[in-house]
Each structure stands twice: as structure tokens, then as C-alpha cells.
Amino acid sequence: MKPLNASDAVSVIKDSITRIVPDADFTRLEPDDKFRDVLELDSLDFLSLVELLSERTGVRIDEVDYPELTTLSDATRFLVERTARPPGPRR
């Protein structure tokens, strides 16, 4: 997939969350809120989100990356940075 800008990344994240939690209320979510808490995503919902984000962006997301996906701003930054990198060996 092509590199994402912040706006594209936010759209992918919100759309992916909506596929898992159709009634997700993003009006209650600030960029630095932990969206799992605010939107009441359980562990399975979160794993589904990780899977969807990976499928939709082509970014490999490992368990070590999960802490970077706790807030909307962190997840956005993560996807923008990862889609900007050429594929290759991981850290």
C-alpha cells in the first residue's frame, strides 16, 4: 500500500474500529484517549482491529507493537511511519 498521511491513517483506524464496533461513538474520543477504554473494546475486539489494520495497510503488526496502538494519535503515528518505510527486516 502507498504511504499514508495522518488524515488517511485516522480514516483507516476509525473505519476499522467501526467494522468491529458498529456503534462506536468517536465524539467521546480525544486523540490521546486510550480508545480501548473509551470505546469499550475488549481483547478480542482489539486483536480484530490489529488484524484489520494490518490487512488494510499492508503493515506487519506484531504483539510488541501493541503499546503503539493504544490511542488514536499513537496509532496514527505508527501507521504513517510504518507505511513510509520500505519493506525489509524488522528492528
Domain harbouring 78, CATH code: 1.10.1200.10
Q: Give the predicted TM-score (pTM) of the model.
A: 0.89
Domain housing 63: 6-84
Residue 74 in domain: yes
Amino acid at position 5, single letter: N
49 CA to centre of own chain: 7
Longest distance between any two alpha carbons in the chain, whole Å:
38
Question: Per the structure, how many domains does the chain have?
Answer: 1
Nearest of 1, 4, 12, 20 to residue 72 by alpha carbon: 12
pLDDT tens for residues 25-76?
A: 999 899 999 999 999 999 999 999 999 999 999 999 999 999 999 999 999 9
Residue 91 domain-assigned (yes or no): no
Q: How far is CA 67 from the centre of its chain?
A: 11
- Residue 38 domain-assigned (yes or no): yes
Whether 1 has a pLDDT exceeding 90, the answer reads no
Residue 89 located in a structural domain:
no
Type of residue found at 86: P
In a domain, 90, yes or no: no
Where does 1-91 show beta strands of DSSP type E? none
